[in-house]
Structure 1
Amino acid sequence: MTTQMLAIGDKALAYVQSGSGPALVIVHGVGGHKEDWAGVAAALSAAHTVYAVDMLGFGESSKTGDDLGMAVQAEALLALLDAQGIDQAVFVGNSVGGWVTATFAATYPERVSRLVLIDVAGFAAMFEGEPPVNFDPGSPAEMQALIDITINGPVARIPGLAEQAFAAYVASGEKAISATWGRSIFLSARLEELLPQITAPSLVLWGADDKLFPSILAGVFSAQIAGATSQLIPDAGHFPQIDQPEATIAAITAFLS
């Protein structure tokens, strides 16, 4: 699939589009990119027009500006819907991408038909104490530590993965804006404020073996959204779409049916 670019003021949002049917927007988390969702997007595109985006500051999207926080990211998604003439869409967000989609759903409820939050980030306790790992790795070894805490199974142990991922992190320009990103998320509204404002039918999915955020949070967060349900993905960590793509596809498909 060919990457398309949407100009938004002085920025550009990169995305790939596939399939046909009702719109579905996928937002990756920190350390991820739209390509991580290729398999899931392909399956969901059987019944939906799927838009997998690179958040501003990541992948092929622009890495400029002093604010890359959740409100700015949500406005970029709104611009995508408007440019495509989409009144409503399903939103699927993982980790910080879930924080972005929760922000969007709370801010623009009339534009969200359904919402899937997967191992969502953005709650107040995230900012308390020392982080369990360096989210701005400065070496392949630190990148390996980040991979180990977010990805389960054989993918995390692919020889040379950490070296390749670290080189790509530097070459992409993502490392250069890490300070801007850090300031932006610190100033963004927390989930505790956002979740009660969400009105769309919602599913909270969680990797049962998430080493970064414990799976008990699935029930905690779903309870803060009126009518929401939660589900654990067995043998999956913080990125179920990588660890257990078939189970992730099945859960999302069942929810949308």
Structure 2
Amino acid sequence: MMTIWNDFLGCEIRYINTPNFGRVRIAESGKGEGKDPLFLLHGIGGHLEAYAKNVKPLSSDFHVIAYDFLNCGFSEKQDTAFNPVTLSEQLAEIMDVLGYQRANISGESLGGWVAGTFAGMYPERVIKIQLNTTGGIEITSEKGEKDMVELVELMKKSAGTPTYESTLLRMKWLMHEHNHHLLDEELVGTRLSIYSHPDMEVANKSIGAFAASDHHAFDIPLEKISCPTMFLWTRDNPIHTLDAAELACSKVAGASLYVMDADSKHWPQFEAPDEFNRVTRSFFLS
């Protein structure tokens, strides 16, 4: 039987301690081989299993590190601000603990938002960034506004008294309908286990406050990004349509836009991993 843990075979899953954000769960591969680091950042309400199909394959060329954000997954839960600035500060501390002054960063959704924010806050610490269906950019369509409302409602249901059904609906929102078969009991059950943990009461308070806030206060400072940048998009991405990606890309000097060929929605790294890994490897190595 294939499971996400078959995908993680050969990877190390461990915890590290950071000065201000406590214990952080990471999955890594390719360590100690003189390769540039590549950090993989998940979306809101997500966890490192979102990169089950990428950590090991990309480690042939990079020291790959996926991790759980503060208040997400199995990392420490704190009653503190949850936003792209705070999460960028967490990333800086993780890099310090792992001994890296500079790194490549690929982030999906909120993870892309953090990657772009980090590049604006710490330009000297970034080699390249990949903004994968990122948040933190302008919503350019009425459909996008409706998608945002739908997401917030799904998050509220998952944060209240999560069930298998509410968690499944939340995850179906992430994937193209042709890929819903990937949402098996293991993957959905993993997220349900995380959402059902007693510590999530504290986490949900801070995540919910961010979800209900004025997001424009934390928009990615696109004009400040000076490192090589790729926007990786899908034709069916919710909230931010392809038009939104094109507009955001035009504001970053020298940035490129790649649109996935395979059917995918908001989790292309999991829905179409072969294409994602190929494009990601090529971008960060070129």
TM-score when normalising by structure 2: 0.80
Q: 1:154 to 1:145 in 2, by over 3 A?
A: closer
Q: CA deviation at 1:23?
A: 1.0
**Counterpart residue number, 1:132:** 150
Q: CA deviation at 1:157?
A: 5.0
Q: CA deviation at 1:51?
A: 1.3
Aligned match for 1:54, one of 68, 77, 82: 68
How many positions carry a matched residue from both structures?
Answer: 257
% identical equivalent positions: 23
Within 5 A, what are the aligned runs for 1:127-206? 131-133=149-151, 134-136=154-156, 137=158, 138-152=162-176, 153-155=179-181, 158=184, 162=188, 165-171=191-197, 173-174=199-200, 176-184=202-210, 186=213, 192-206=219-233
Aligned match for 1:69, one of 80, 83, 88: 83
Q: Distance in 1 between the 2:240 and 2:42 partners?
A: 16
1:105 aligns with 2:133: no
Q: Distance in 2 between the 1:75 and 1:40 partners?
A: 24
**Counterpart residue number, 1:254:** 282
Q: Distance in 2 between the 1:199 and 1:172 partners?
A: 41
Q: CA deviation at 1:159?
A: 5.6
Matched AA of 2:28: Q
1:225 aligns with 2:225: no
**SS state of the match for residue 171, structure 1?**
coil
Matched AA of 1:29: G
Q: CA deviation at 1:105?
A: 0.5
**SS state of the match for residue 12, structure 1?**
strand
Deviates more, 1:74-83 or 1:175-184: 175-184
**Counterpart residue number, 1:242:** 270
Q: Distance in 1 between the 2:186 and 2:236 partners?
A: 24
Q: Distance in 2 between the 1:245 and 1:53 partners?
A: 18
**SS state of the match for residue 52, structure 2?**
helix
Contact 1:69/1:188 (CA < 8 Å) preserved in 2?
no
Q: 1:124 to 1:210 in 2, by over 3 A?
A: closer
Matched AA of 2:230: L
**SS state of the match for residue 172, structure 2?**
helix
Aligned match for 1:16, one of 10, 27, 37: 27
**SS state of the match for residue 219, structure 1?**
helix
Contact 1:147/1:156 (CA < 8 Å) preserved in 2?
no
Matched AA of 1:6: N
| Alignment root-mean-square deviation, CA | 2.5
Q: Distance in 2 between the 1:192 and 1:79 partners?
A: 22
TM-score when normalising by structure 1: 0.88
**Counterpart residue number, 2:107:** 93
**Where in structure 1 are there 5+ consecutive unaligned residues?**
none
Contact 2:113/2:220 (CA < 8 Å) preserved in 1?
no
Q: CA deviation at 1:222?
A: 1.1
**Where in structure 2 are there 5+ consecutive unaligned residues?**
1-11
**SS state of the match for residue 128, structure 2?**
strand
Q: 1:189 to 1:113 in 2, by over 3 A?
A: farther
